[in-house]
Amino acid sequence: MFDRAYVPALGDRRLTPFYDATVSLMTCERTWRRAFIKQIDPTPRDVILDVGCGTGTLAVMLKQACPGASIYGIDPDPEVLSRAELKARDADVLVHFAKGFAQDTAAARVRPNKVVSSLVLHQVPSLAKRGAILSAFAALRPGGEFHVADYGEQKSPLMRFAFRQVQALDGFANTQPNADGILPALMAEAGFTDIRTNVVIPTPTGAISLYSARRT
């Protein structure tokens, strides 16, 4: 069992209606999402699970990039899930959204060959970061890939300063391990191999790193 409390998209559910606009303005969203889609490289045979899918932006973009791929998204927050469903409907694409936690990917009832996640791990407690990465490993087929786009190590004083805006919203305790660069170590601990930090993109709210890893 795990703690089923969760931090909503912008740290406070009253701010959820402003999530998409805030991410667009404050994260150089177009740049990192495009780079992330390129890294994930969806193909028609892929079954892709987006954990902490939020308002569905990544899941919808993946389906648009590769209509033949099967895309699933889970998130514990019903409010973002209804926004995600609306987004998929507006884009006229089929994405399967369901309620679920990153620590329990079995809730999605799929056996993905790629698990992806964007902007989720920085805002969950350390125990949940571990649980989410272990659960991604357990869900993946052998040879499967894990892709993460998130605030990672904040190397420069400028990026550490910029990241304080995220820390003010999402809490210091949950976010600081990411800023200290914990994610690759947690992936290794879970059993992933070929762990890479492919790109680091400076944004007005801190550096966003694109990681990949493999379940061998």
Ligand X SMILES: C[S@@+](CC[C@H](N)C(=O)[O-])C[C@H]1O[C@@H](n2cnc3c(N)ncnc32)[C@H](O)[C@@H]1O
Contacts of 201 (CB under 8 A, 6+ apart): 28, 31, 32, 35, 207, 208, 209, 210
72: contact with ligand X by CB under 6 A? no
Nearer to ligand X, 17 or 193 (CB): 17
- Indicate the residue type of 168: A
Rounded to whole angstroms, how far apart are CA atoms 22 and 15?
10
Rounded to whole angstroms, how far apart are CA atoms 77 and 65?
26
Residues numbered 103 to 162 that lie near ligand X (CB under 6 A) are: 103, 118-120, 123-124, 128
Other residues' Cβ atoms within 10 Å of the Cβ of residue 195 = 17
9: contact with ligand X by CB under 6 A? yes
51: contact with ligand X by CB under 6 A? yes
CA 143 to chain CA mean position, Å? 20
Residues numbered 17 to 46 that lie near ligand X (CB under 6 A) are: 23
Rule CB under 6 A: choose which of 39, 49, 57, 179 binds ligand X. Answer: 57
Number of residues that bind ligand X (CB under 6 A): 24
Residue span binding ligand X (CB under 6 A) among the ranges 2-10, 61-69, 160-168, 183-191? 2-10
Shortest-Cβ-distance residue relative to ligand X? 54
Rounded to whole angstroms, how far apart are CA atoms 158 and 206?
8
Rule CB under 6 A: choose which of 54, 144, 152, 177 binds ligand X. Answer: 54
71: contact with ligand X by CB under 6 A? no
Rule CB under 6 A: choose which of 40, 48, 49, 58 binds ligand X. Answer: 58
Best CA proximity match to 206, nearest among 160, 174, 155: 160
Rounded to whole angstroms, how far apart are CA atoms 69 and 44?
4
52: contact with ligand X by CB under 6 A? yes
Angle formed by the axes of helices 19-26 and 29-40, nearest 10°: 90
Nearer to ligand X, 76 or 112 (CB): 76
Rule CB under 6 A: choose which of 49, 80, 110, 159 binds ligand X. Answer: 80
Nearer to ligand X, 54 or 177 (CB): 54
Best CA proximity match to 200, nearest among 153, 157, 167, 135: 153
Nearer to ligand X, 128 or 159 (CB): 128
Task: Report yes or no: 84 and 50 within 8 Å, Cβ to Cβ.
Answer: no
Binding site for ligand X (CB under 6 A): 6-9, 23, 51-54, 57-58, 75-77, 80, 101-103, 118-120, 123-124, 128
